[in-house]
Amino acid sequence: MLTDLQVDCPPELLAPTSFNSTLAVGVLHAARRGTANLWIVINIVKGRVVSLTGMLGEDEIVPDTISALNPDVVAVADRIVWRMLHAGDRDSFYKNLEAGEVKISGDFRFFGRYTMLLIEITERAELWGKIDRIVAQIIEANKPTDNA
């Protein structure tokens, strides 16, 4: 189940108002303890981020819940690779991208055309510095409630 993420993300991007997209990002080995992988969905409508949702999964394949949304691009990499963007090390990130450490699926032309914008979205939301907080938020939101 997707959880609304309480992450500050400036809604205005340097994107044309005609830019509409659903992006999915997989962060493998996101949890410091355990094997959970984090899946984040970013919805952009008319050049604005309208929602950030996420879920945890054990498998390294895209969960059916996310596949059903038909994202334009799915990018999956290990937590360490995504954290390079948080550290401001774009050169190392791009080297990992070229080396195939970031698995991309979906519309490759779209990804090629909007790579810089997609990276800017994740940087402006500071997603890579908030991975632990996001994982904890999803775990808390999905705890069973005691109706006793």
Mean pLDDT by 10 residues, the chain (148 residues): 81 69 89 80 85 88 93 92 88 92 89 81 81 88 75
Output the pLDDT for position 85. Answer: 87
Compute the distance between CA of residue 56 and CA of residue 2 in angstroms, rounded to an integer. Answer: 9
Return the pLDDT at 70: 94
The order of strands in the sheet holding 37-45 is: 3-4, 48-57, 37-45, 21-28, 73-78, 103-106
Measured distance CA(43)–CA(96) in Å, rounded:
25
| pLDDT score for 100 | 93
Distances from the Cα of 52 to the Cαs of 34, 42, 96, 108, in angstroms? 24, 5, 25, 22
Tell me, what's the pLDDT at 87?
87
Q: Rounded to two decimals, what is the model's pTM? A: 0.86
Domains annotated for the chain, with CATH where assigned, are 3-139 (3.30.1050.10)
- The confidence score (pLDDT) of residue 131 equals 87
